[in-house]
Amino acid sequence: MSTFLPKEIQDGLDAARIEAAQRKSRFRVEAGDQNVRVLRLWEGGFSVAAEKAPKLRGLVDLFDGARHLYQALIVASEEEAGELRYEFKRNTAAADAAPLDFARDPDAPIALLGPAID
């Protein structure tokens, strides 16, 4: 049995796979004013659809819906089967608060209350 597929059929299968991945993916990458949906995200990088992807490079922000996940420095890795893959040079988790420069006491009060007013 042959596993060879004609180029037109293989291209059609790749396009259908990419379209399905774009519909179900919540991840997106932003670079300046460019906003691109992420097909796959893994520990060392991510991939986007090659036909719709601008040539991203440098510092980007990765989002899961509206939640900011990472700020990353990326470089284009390879293009295969309709996907353009990017590798992380640096990947820093985004935080919603500034980091503390001291150790917080676990028994510290959350707030200070003033005298009760009758």
Q: How far apart are CA 32 and CA 34, in angstroms?
A: 6
Q: How far apart are CA 47 and CA 101, in angstroms?
A: 36
pLDDT at 117: 73
Per-residue pLDDT of the chain (118 residues; tens, 9 = 90+): 567 777 787 777 777 766 666 566 788 888 888 888 888 888 899 988 887 777 788 899 999 888 888 899 999 888 887 788 999 999 888 887 777 777 888 888 777 777 777 6
Domain positions in the chain: 7-93
Find how far residue 15's CA is from the centre of its chain: 21
Assign a CATH topology to domain 7-93.
Thrombin, subunit H (2.40.10)
Rg (CA), the chain: 22
